Structures are given as structure tokens and as C-alpha cells.
Structure 1
Amino acid sequence: MDILSLIGITLGLVAVLGGSIAKGSGLGALWNAAAFLIVVLGTLGATLVQARLSVFMHGMRILPWAFKPPKVDNRATVEQIVEWSHVARKEGLLGLETLADEETDGFARKGLQLLVDGSEPQTIRQIMEADLDNREHFDLQGAKIFESMGIYAPTLGIVGAVMGLMAVMQNLADPSKLGAGIAAAFVATIYGIASANLLFLPVANKLKSIIQNRSQHQQMLMEGLIAIAEGENPRNIESKLSGFIHE
């Protein structure tokens, strides 16, 4: 669990809700159904127009990563790669076949199978790089779904505010309705700006960071498998991959 994401969301809510109370507006002033519909549904609609269905659904699937990132342990992976290299030196590349069948990570299993099949190091690099690049690109597209929401939400907030002011202008003859109408108009702006800067954009950036971390992990895995294919000494492989480990 990413405790910083939870703390950040909590602090953001406390800042907005607490600020409203401290200013004397109260929590009730922050709720307006019309503003909610304009900003939330409008933002969702604009995002759906922009994105392909597969990309949008992938973005929703990776959203939990912002709060519970996939576990990536570079140090443990280096140790595993060194162990594979020992097996390859003792039993040959065919000795990795059983390990490939037992491997749960699809990327690692694919690389091990390429080793078992006797693929050349350059061939392994080309195949795995293509797989890595495609996966990273697709993941980043999913993360950009929330970046787009962060762009559209403030604009829809302004639209909601303008529509609210239009309603106020229609009631100029009744001063009792002006204060509430103006307040409701600005609620839409709060929804748009707050959701963009406290949720959508931070989530997008957190997901991009996680995706980059996963890509570096897979890059390290690929380099280790290629080193095994080239017959490098396990000690040299460990030294080469140690640069990927950052505490």
C-alpha cells in the first residue's frame, strides 16, 4: 500500500473541507447537484470522446496502482537472474526449461523460453524490447486518461460557473436569489480545479512514475537474460545489474 497516496488524498480533502468550514461557508456550501453533473459527467464525456475503449478500460484497471503499486524488487530479481546463470552454466540452457514453466511473470517466462529455444542474444533483445516498448506505451496511454481528466475538469468547471451566472442574471429582479445563485456558480469552479489538482493530475503522475519503475525493472531483467545467453560469468552479471538497484 502506498501510504503517501492515502495521506495526500486525505490532506487534500481536509484542506478543502476544512477551509470551507474555517471560512464560515460550511460543508453544505460545497454541494451542488447541477455543478456536479456538469463537471463530472462533462469531464467523463470529453475523456471518452478522446480515448479508445481499450485504453480507457486499461486506465481504470491500473488506477489501483496509485494506491497499491505492483511489487518490484530489483535486488531479488538480480539474485534470481544470477541463480539462472548458475543453472545455465551447470546444466546448459535447456536446464532453464523447468524454471521457465514455473515462472509466473509473463515477461520473464518469455525471456527464459527464448533462452531455452537457443535464440541469439540479438534476437532476444529485439523480441523483448518490442514487448517492453509496447507494454510501456499502452500503460502510459492508460495513465494519460487521468491526465486528460485533469485538463478537462477545470474547463468544465468554468462552463458550470458561466451557466450558473447565466441563471443568476435571469433572476436579477429577485435579490433574494442572487447570493445563493452566485455561490452555486462558483461551486462548479471548485469541483473542476480541486478534482484536477488534488486527484486527476497527481494520480496520472504517480502512475507514470510506477510505469517507468516497472519498465526499468523489465529492462534489467532483459539485460540479465541476454548476459546469460552470451555466456557471461554469474559474478559479472551481478556486477552489471547492480547499477539498476537504487535504495
Structure 2
Amino acid sequence: MKDLATLIGVAVGLVVIVAANIMEGGNPMSLLLPAPMILVFGTTILVTVAGGTMADAKGAGKSLARAFKGDVAPAAEVVPSIVALADKARREGLLALEDMLKDMDDEFLVKGVTLAIDGTDPEEVRDILEAEVAAKRKEDKHAAKFFSDAGAYAPTIGIIGTVMGLVHVLESLSDPAELGHLIAGAFVATLWGVMSANVLFLPLGNRLKRLGELEAMRMDLVIEGIAAIQAGANPRVVAQKLTSLLPAGQQPLADAA
């Protein structure tokens, strides 16, 4: 399920900034200066790449698309599937679950149930799945760090652009008519540095952290569900246990399912 919170937040945030600029009598086109924009965005991305690895840089594009689409299924949606598996396993045994896996899209759930069907010890199943969750948390942490680092660099890069512009202003003191225009242009770099950090880069970093938390929560729920299935727990007990692990806002969704 796609969540467009980031796309809406960034787009509307920029609209509000432009609207406020117009209300103050400004001209938005005066802010769209190529030189400071290239300096801020180009240098920020490059120094962020320099602080990591090429693998991190290559993964940033994929993470950017994920941040805007936000396609993470709510943890509550997996509860009915686990309860159905628990019911069938209790009535017909673990081997009977194999046919049900063909219609399931959750790869992590399918992997865990397959391990259970193969007769893997419950503790080993938990260790394997928890190791995968830990690896996923690290991956998501690195993805978020790239944009959080960019958000930390951007304002300083903007200040560098402003200082460069002011140096040019001092070189043009002999032409007073141009000073106002040159000073205004110099501060545009600081504007883009601060704005890109707080309207784009930092929100993207926080978004990826949140998506990682949601996905890890869903995976943790699957682990508990598979453990209950292997233990032969009553399906109603499984449903109650998994529902109790959900955040309060998602519990009605799980109950309704």
C-alpha cells in the first residue's frame, strides 16, 4: 500500500514557501538562480557520497523512490494470514501449509513457514529470521543515513555559496547600482542550503527510518506468529497475541480482519 505523505508534505511545503514569498512582495523566479542551486545540490550530494561508499551512493536512488512511494504493508494485514495458517496447521499438521504458501505475497512469511514445514527446530527458525530482521534494520539505517548526512551538509554548503557571492560583491563596490542585486543573489545560496536540508533531505532521512521501523515491526510479528504455529497454539490465542503486539491505532484493523 502506497503512502504519499512525503510527496504531499514536500510538494505542499514548497508551495507554502512560494506563496509566502509572493505575499511578502517577492518574485519566486528571483530565487531560481542556477549557480547557487547547482552549488548546493551538486556539492551536497558529492560530499555525501564522499562520506560513504559507492554502494551507498548507488542505493540512494532506490531509497529515494522508496521514500516517496512508501510501499510498506501495515503489520496488521499479515495477522489474518498467520491465523489462517495456525488454524490449518492445528487441524491438519504443518505439512498441510505448503499449498497455502502459493497464494501468499509476503516473502518473509513464506520463508519462515517453509522452514517450519521442513522440520527446522523452532529456535533455529527464530535465529534465522531474527538475523534477517537485524540485517534489514542495518540496511534501512544506512539508507536513511545518506539523506540525513546530506541534510547536515546542505546548510553549510549554502553558507559557502553565500561567502563566495559576498566576495564577488566586495569586488564590485565600484558599481553601487549592482550591489543590491549581487547581495540578494549571494544569500540565495544560503536559502537553498537551509531549505533543501529541512524540506527535502532531513524529511527523506526520517521517512526511511520510519518505513524501516514499520517493516521490521511486520517481520517481528511474523516471527512470533510462526513460533506460535510451530507450538501448535490455538488460532484464537494466536490472533489475540499478535493483535496485542500491534500499536493501539492498528489493533481495530487487525480485529476487523
TM-score by length of 2: 0.89
Structure 1: segments with no counterpart, 5+ residues: none
Equivalent residue letter for 2:211: I
The aligned residue for residue 252 of structure 2 is: none
For residues 4 and 126 of structure 2, the distance between their equivalents in structure 1, rounded to whole angstroms, comes to 36
Correspondence for 1:163: 164
Quote the residue 1:172 is aligned against: 173
Please tell me whether the aligned partners of residues 162 and 185 of structure 1 are also in contact (alpha carbons under 8 angstroms): yes
CA contact (8 A) 1:157 1:188 kept: yes
Q: SS state of the match for residue 46, structure 2?
A: helix
CA contact (8 A) 1:58 1:139 kept: no
- AA in 2 matched with 1:191: W
| 1:114 aligns to 2:119 (yes or no) | no
State how 1:195-214 maps to structure 2 within 5 Å.
Answer: 195-214=196-215
How big is the shift at 1:129? Answer: 0.4
1:87-145 Cα distance to aligned partner (Å, 9 max, x none): 21222211122333443322112101110111111101100000011012102211221
1:206 CA drift (Å): 1.7
Q: Distance in 2 between matches of 1:213 and 1:205?
A: 12
Residue 21 of structure 1 is matched in structure 2 by 22
CA distance in 2, matches of 1:84, 1:94: 11
Q: Deviations over 1:171-218 (max 9, x none)?
A: 111112211111111000000000111111112112211210111011
| Stretches (4+) displaced over 6 A | none
Distance 1:183 1:15 in 2: 21
Report 1:107-146 matches (<5 A): 107-146=108-147
Q: Does the 8 Å CA contact 1:85/1:228 hold for their aligned counterparts?
A: yes
Aligned to 2:12: 11
Say if 1:111 and 1:124, in contact at 8 Å, map to a contact too.
Answer: yes
Structure 1 stretch displaced more, 97-106 or 177-186: 97-106
Alignment-mate amino acid for residue 125 of structure 1: R
Which residue matches 1:222? 223
How far 1:3 moved relative to its partner? 4.6
Whether the 8 Å CA contact 1:39–1:192 is kept in 2: the answer is yes
Contact 2:75 2:217 (8 Å CA) reproduced: no
Checking the alignment, whether the CA contact within 8 Å between 1:55 and 1:141 is kept in structure 2 is: yes
Q: Which digits, 9 at most, give the CA deviation of each residue in 1:9-45, with x for residues without a partner?
A: 2332123212322232312220222111210110010
In percent, how many aligned pairs have the same letter?
A: 37
Deviation at 1:244, TM superposition (A): 2.7
Aligned length: 247
For the aligned residue pairs, the C-alpha RMSD in angstroms reads 1.7
Task: For 1:40 and 1:71, locate their aligned partners in 2 and report how far apart those are by CA, in whole Å.
Answer: 29
Distance across 2 between alignment mates of 1:185 and 1:153: 16
d(CA) in 2 for partners of 1:79, 1:103? 12
Superposition pairs of residues 66-145 of structure 1, within 5 angstroms? 66-145=67-146
Aligned partners of 1:120 and 1:229 also within 8 Å = no
In 2, distance between residues paired with 1:112 and 1:122? 14
* 1:245 alignment partner, SS class: coil
TM-score w.r.t. length of structure 1: 0.93
Asked if residue 237 in structure 1 is aligned to residue 238 in structure 2, the reply is yes
Q: CA deviation at 1:158?
A: 0.3
Q: Structure 2: where are the runs of 5+ without partners?
A: 250-257
Is the partner of 1:67 in helix, strand or coil? helix
